[in-house]
Amino acid sequence: MSHSEPDGFAARKRRATSARIAASAARLAGRHGVASTTVEQIAADAEVARATFFRYYSTKESAIAEGVTGPWLVLVTEALARQPEHLSAKAALVAAFDELAGHFSDHRDEIWELARLTRSSPALHAWTTQTYQRYEDAIARLLTPRFPASSEPDPRPRLLAVLAMGAVRICLDDWVATGGSLPAPLSRAFASITVEPG
């Protein structure tokens, strides 16, 4: 047996435990509200000790934020990675989000509840905003190969990622406030982004 196998198993186990705690946190907060959800409830639901909770998350808000945003980060990055190599950075990004929008009706209630939840608590909103940077970093990494190679640092992949997540936040804000459609305004917002290879 190689020494890397136990380390690999341990890392997978840590990720699974972290994801289980985060999922429990988001589920309980969605059901009872952030204020009424306690660390003890989250730990019990995730079947871990209270001390184990704090090995992974410093506050209940950080666990809830991870539970809200983490699964969608996987969906976004996987959709972006599937786009054909010949597409420009913006075209690949638009195609990835269009692909996700095609499944919107299947997840509408869940997206609504999570969007409402993240705006119900100043602490949770702050944590969620912080985790959005993970989206931006992941998207930028996937977009970088779609820009021409340069000897100078190119800010455009990160700029495009920041604009994309800004569009998502604006559209979610409007959707929670007024209802209606989410995919259509999001598509219009993405169409207005103009960062392209020059």
Q: What percent of the chain has pLDDT over 70?
A: 94
pLDDT at 7: 63
Q: What percent of the chain has pLDDT over 90?
A: 41
Euclidean distance between CA atoms 174 and 182, whole angstroms: 9
pLDDT at 180 over 90: no
pLDDT at 111: 79
Mean pLDDT: which of 35-49, 110-124, 149-163 is highest? 35-49
Which residues have a Cβ under 8 Å from the Cβ of 6 and sit 6 or more positions away?
Answer: none
Token pair for 169: 């936040």
Euclidean distance between CA atoms 48 and 139, whole angstroms: 32
pLDDT per position as a tens digit, 50-94: 999 999 999 998 898 888 888 888 889 999 999 999 999 999 999
pTM: 0.75
pLDDT at 142 over 80: yes
pLDDT per position as a tens digit, 113-141: 777 877 877 877 777 777 788 889 999 99
Q: Would you put residue 47 in left (φ > 0), alpha (ψ -120 to 50) or beta?
A: left
The single-letter code of the amino acid at 3 is H
pLDDT at 196 over 70: no
Query: What is the chain's mean pLDDT, rounded?
Result: 86
Average pLDDT on 4-12 reads 71
pLDDT at 186 over 80: yes
